[in-house]
A and B are shown apart, each in its own frame.
Chain A
Amino acid sequence: MEDINAILKNIRPEFEFAGVNDFFSLGMLDSFDLTVLISALEEHYAITIDGTDILPENFQSVAAIRSLLTKYGVGGMGIVPDNSRN
C-alpha cells in the first residue's frame, strides 16, 4: 500500500494520490504516466501485467491497483519488494 503510494508519488510528485477515486478523469495520470506506472509496478513486484488488465478500472485508484496486484499474487506478507532500485 505504501509502496503503491510511493511509486505513484515518484511518477507525479505534485499530487497526493491517497483517497482519490479516479486518477484519469481528474487528469492525475495520462498515457505517459500509465506506461511508467505499469513498468514500475512490474519491476517493483517482479510481475508481468497482462495487456487485457490495462483497463481504467484497474488503475484508477490506489485500492484498484492493490486489488489488481492481489490478482498477481502480490499483497501477502510473503512478497519482498525489490528495493534495490530507487
Chain B
Amino acid sequence: MQTNVLEYFLKTQDRWPSKTAVTDGCEAWTFEQLGKRAASIARKIVSLTSSTNSPVAVYLPKTNEAIASFLGVLLSGNCYAPLDTKAPVARIQTILNHLDPVLIITTSELSSQLAANGVDTSRLLLVNQVHSDDGELPDRWQKLIDTDPVYIIHTSGSTGRPKGVVVNHRGVIDYIDWARDTFGIDDRCVIGNQAPLIFDNSTLDLYLCFACGATLHLIPEELFLFPVRLLEYLAEKFVNFVFWVPSVMISTADKKVLDRVTNLRLQKVLFAGEVMPAKHLNVWRSRFPGALFANLYGPTEITVDCTYYIVDRPLDDDEPVPIGRPCRNTQVLILNAENQPCKVGERGELCVRGSSLASGYWNDPTHTAGAFVQNPLNRHHPELIYRTGDSVYRNEKGEIIFVGRKDFQIKHMGYRIELGDIEHFAMQVSGIRNACVLYQFDKKQIVLVYEADRDIDPGFIRRELGRNLPKYMWPTAFHRLCELPRTANGKIDRQQLIMEYAGQTVLNGRLDSSESGTMRQIEILRGVGD
C-alpha cells in the first residue's frame, strides 16, 4: 500500500531514468537528473533542520528547479508551500508570518527582494548555491504516514490574509490514482502545463509526470498571451495532454487560430477552475473531434477535484457544461438549507466526503471548524465533510450542474478571489472612505466602487493595491460615489451597485446573464439564497 507520494517518483526514476521528465523553456531534465537534484536539495534541508512534517516555503518561478525543490522538501520529510514570486512582497510577508516555515527555498536574486522588504532572511536556503552531489538518499520521509501533509496552498481570504490549505499524502494518492485510471495516462503522455505552481491544478500535471513517467513541459508563461504562439509550442513539443483553466481555452477558442497550427496532437483536454462555456468548448471539440474533453471541478480543500464530466454528447452553445459525477472514492452531498439531501433539480450546497478532504487550514482552527464539519446525515460517529460554499443541483441524468457561489468568492482568469480581500485593502487607500468590489461576469472585470470626496487617480489606487495584492486581484474599472447606497438596515446595497456598475440587463422581467454566478450573486442579495 502506497503511503507517500514520493513512491510514485522513485519508482518512475528507476524505470525510466533517461526519459525526459521536465522542461522549463531553458533546460530539459531526465528523471534521473531531476531525482539527483532533488536528493541534493533534500540533503541540504536535512543539514539545516531536524524538523519533519513542517512547512518549507518555495519562493521560485515555475522552473525545473522548483519541481526539484518540491521533491527535495518531500524527501526531507517536510511539506512544501509554493509562494507566488509575482505577488507583492507585503503579501508574501503576511503569508510567511502566518506560515512560520522552517526554511524558505529561493534564489540569491529573489532573496535580496525579500530582504529589502524586511523579510527575515535567517531561514533562507539559496537553491542556486546548492551543489549537486552523490550522497545518500535522505530517509526521513519513510517515517511519515499518509495523513501527513504534502503541500500547503494559499488561497484568497475575505479578511486580507490568505488561507493555507493543508493537503495530505492520502488525498493526493487518492486523486492521482483516480486520474491515471480514468484518463488512461501512461508514459506516452506529454503534458503541457499551464497552471502556476501556486495553484493546485498543477498537482495533476506534476504527479501524473511522477506517477506515469509522462514528460512535463512547463510552458513559458508569456506564450499564454499569444494563442498562435502557444499552439505552435504545443505542436513543437508533441503535447497530447493539457489540463488548463477555461480562460486560456476561451482565448484560444478561435477557429482560425486552431486551424492555423496544423500538426497538433492533443488527445486529452481537461479543464477546471472556473465555468467553461459550451460555446467555446464546441469550437475546441470541432477542431479535435477524436480527443477526450473533460470538465473537472473541485476546491483546493478536497485535493484538486471531486467531480468530473467526460463530454459524451453534443452540447448546445448556451447549455451549462455539467461538472458531472463524483470522482472514485468520493461522495458528493447536495444539502439544502435544512441540511437535507436535495431532490433532482433542487439547488443546494455541494459538500464532499472522502479521503480527499484536506487536513484543514494551517494555524486557523476557526476557519477549519467552519468549513470542515460533521456530516449532518451521520449521527452515529465522527465524520467530516467539506462544505464548498458552491451552489449546485443534480439534473435528471444524475449530472451535477454548477450554479454559483453562496458568498462573494469569484473566479477570475482561473484565480479564486474573495471580493472582501480586495475591499479590505481598497479601504486602506488614502482618500477612500468606503469601498465595494463587484465582478462584472460578462466582461470579466473587477469593479471598484468607492466613497470619497474627490476622484482618485486609478493609477494611484492600483499602485496602492499593488503593495498588497497580486495583479490578478486589481480592479480595472473604477467608480466614485459621494456616498455608497445603503439598504434599510444600513448595509452597503450591493444589489443596487451590481445593477448600476456590473452591467446586468433585465429581459422579460428576468435577469439575463450567461454567467449563472451573477444571477446567484443577486439572488443572495435579494435573500432568495440560503
User: Which A residues lie at the B interface, using CB under 8 A?
Assistant: 10-14, 24, 30-32, 34-36, 39, 50-52, 54-56
Q: Is the interface of B mostly helix, strand, loop or mixed?
A: helix
- The minimal Cβ–Cβ distance linking B87 to chain A, given in whole angstroms, is 14
Q: How far is the CA of A56 from the CA of B222 in the complex (A)?
A: 10
Q: How far is the CA of A39 from the CA of B225 in the complex (A)?
A: 14
A-B residue pairs in contact (CB < 8 Å), sample of 21: A11-B476, A13-B457, A13-B458, A13-B462, A14-B462, A24-B225, A31-B221, A31-B225, A32-B471, A35-B413, A39-B443, A50-B254, A51-B227, A51-B228, A51-B257, A52-B228, A52-B256, A54-B225, A54-B228, A56-B226, A56-B229
Contacts of B467 in A (CB 8 A): none
Total contacting residues, chain B, CB less than 8 A: 27
Interface hub of A30, A36, A51 (most chain B Cβ within 10 A): A51
Q: How far is the CA of A26 from the CA of B476 in the complex (A)?
A: 21
> Is B260's beta carbon under 8 Å from chain A?
yes
Contact call B222/A50, Cβ cutoff below 8 A? no
Which 3 pairs between the two chains have the least Cβ-Cβ distance?
Answer: A13-B459, A51-B254, A51-B257
Contact call B413/A54, Cβ cutoff below 8 A? no
User: Which B residues lie at the A interface, using CB under 8 A?
Assistant: 221-222, 224-229, 251-252, 254, 256-257, 260, 413, 443-445, 457-460, 462-463, 471-472, 476
Contacts of A32 in B (CB 8 A): 413, 471-472
Contacts of B458 in A (CB 8 A): 10, 13
Contact call A52/B443, Cβ cutoff below 8 A? no
Q: How far is the CA of A36 from the CA of B459 in the complex (A)?
A: 15
Q: How far is the CA of A64 from the CA of B476 in the complex (A)?
A: 23
Contact call B472/A14, Cβ cutoff below 8 A? no
Q: How far is the CA of A74 from the CA of B456 in the complex (A)?
A: 32
Contacts of A13 in B (CB 8 A): 457-460, 462
Contact call B256/A51, Cβ cutoff below 8 A? yes
Interface hub of B221, B229, B251 (most chain A Cβ within 10 A): B251
Q: How far is the CA of A13 from the CA of B475 in the complex (A)?
A: 12
Contact call B260/A52, Cβ cutoff below 8 A? yes
Contact call A30/B228, Cβ cutoff below 8 A? no
Given contacts A13-B459, A32-B471, 14 further A-B contacts (CB under 8 A): A13-B457, A13-B458, A13-B462, A14-B463, A24-B222, A31-B413, A36-B476, A50-B254, A51-B227, A51-B254, A51-B256, A54-B225, A56-B226, A56-B229
